[in-house]
Amino acid sequence: MARQSPQRPDADEPELDDTDAAAAADEVEEDRPPADRALWDEVRIDPVEIALPAGTGFTLRAYRQARELTPTDVAERDQDDPFLARRQVVETEEDEEVVILDEEFAALSAEEDDEDEEKDAESRRKGKADASDDEKAEADEDDAEDDEDEDEAGDEEVPVFLTHKGRLLLFKTPESLVTFIRSGAPNDLSQLDSWNELSERLEPADIAPLDEDTYELDLVVENLRGGHDAWDHELLIEAGEIARDLAYALRLPAVLDMLSAGSSLDDLDEALRASVNGGVGGFLGRRRLKKIGAQTASLGWRTIVGKISAVVDWRD
């Protein structure tokens, strides 16, 4: 079969070079009205777009004081989760809290943990020698601090998402998200005092997440595997932010543990944040990044993305 020649443009239509095409695209963007944020500002809820290996979906997120919220009920989810079932068996047998991580990540982190345990043991030995005289006074102070911490925890702003029974509801289109909200179906955001107003006024055109509310978790592992020079600092920092929010709202203790202060992935996050700043802080941050293993980081994030993906309820 003879190869067909490409169609030539109509003689009456002027051809656009790359510069003209770019200018035309910019003009279209300028003519497009920005999404109206008035509704979201009033209800204090935001649309969020999250990309995962299985696809991209829209959901909602809000921040409220912890005392105002009832956490999502994970009882039904946990019954069907083999990871959590295994975790409960280990806790029962050893009578202590155990968080089972991905085996590869745990193996690569074991050496770091051993070093930390040695340091902690040494600190405890020194602490026992110095604490005997002040033990009673410190105990009284701790009791007072515990009461203050409880009050502060209730006043702390925490994330809550469009979830139900421990699962994140992700919608493939703005239309399906709006249809769900208008349906009155049960979800954890319906406890907010602004929910009824949102459900009455929301339109598909309003589902336009801001850049800072758009997250690409599907790219994190591959980016980390590319090595230090290829790391996208903004991508990884934003991934840490949404992963922490989701782990808290969805009650995923293993993910919270992996991103907790002092963990290797938290060290990565701090080094990334420092490196984007100028001056001495940025220089030191870049030096710290060079010491973080790309393989350990990528395996850790693979585990996090996998655990978040496992509790997503995709809706068309």
pLDDT at 102: 58
Residue-level pLDDT at 137: 54
Q: What per-residue confidence (pLDDT) applies to 274?
A: 87
CB within 8 A of 112, min separation 6: which ones?
A: 264
Q: pLDDT tens-digit profile of 36-57?
A: 799 999 999 999 999 999 999 9
Percent of the chain with pLDDT over 90: 54
In a domain, 127, yes or no: no
Predicted pLDDT of residue 305:
98
Residue 117: its pLDDT value, please? 62
Compute the distance between CA of residue 161 and CA of residue 41 in angstroms, rounded to an integer: 16
Stretches in the chain below the pLDDT threshold 50: 1-11, 13-14, 16, 24-25, 28-33, 85-100
Measured between alpha carbons, how far is 166 from 74 in angstroms, rounded to an integer? Answer: 4
Count the alpha carbons within 13 Å of 31 in the hemisphere toward its beta carbon: 6
pTM for this one?
0.71
**How much is the pLDDT for 3?**
41
Identify whether 1 is part of a domain.
Answer: no
Measured CA to CA, the distance from residue 159 to residue 164 in angstroms comes to: 14
pLDDT at residue 156, rounded to an integer: 93
* Strand 214-216 with 167-171, pairing: unpaired
Q: Distance between the two ends of the chain, CA-based, in angstroms?
A: 43
Q: Domain range holding 269?
A: 38-86+157-315
pLDDT for 109 equals: 61
Domain assignment present for 254: yes
Assess if residue 128 is contained within a domain. no
| Domain membership flag for residue 28 | no
| Domain membership flag for residue 281 | yes
Q: Domain tally for the chain?
A: 1
pLDDT computed for residue 112 by the predictor:
55
Quote the longest CA-to-CA distance of the chain. Answer: 95
Model pLDDT for residues 200-238, shown as the tens digit of each residue: 999 999 999 999 999 999 999 999 999 888 999 999 999
Is 208 domain-assigned?
yes
Which residue, among 243, 69, 49, has the nearest Cα to 160 in the 3D structure?
A: 69
Answer for the pair 170, 313: CB distance below 8 angstroms, yes or no.
Answer: yes
- 94 occurs within a structural domain: no
CA distance 45 to 64: 10
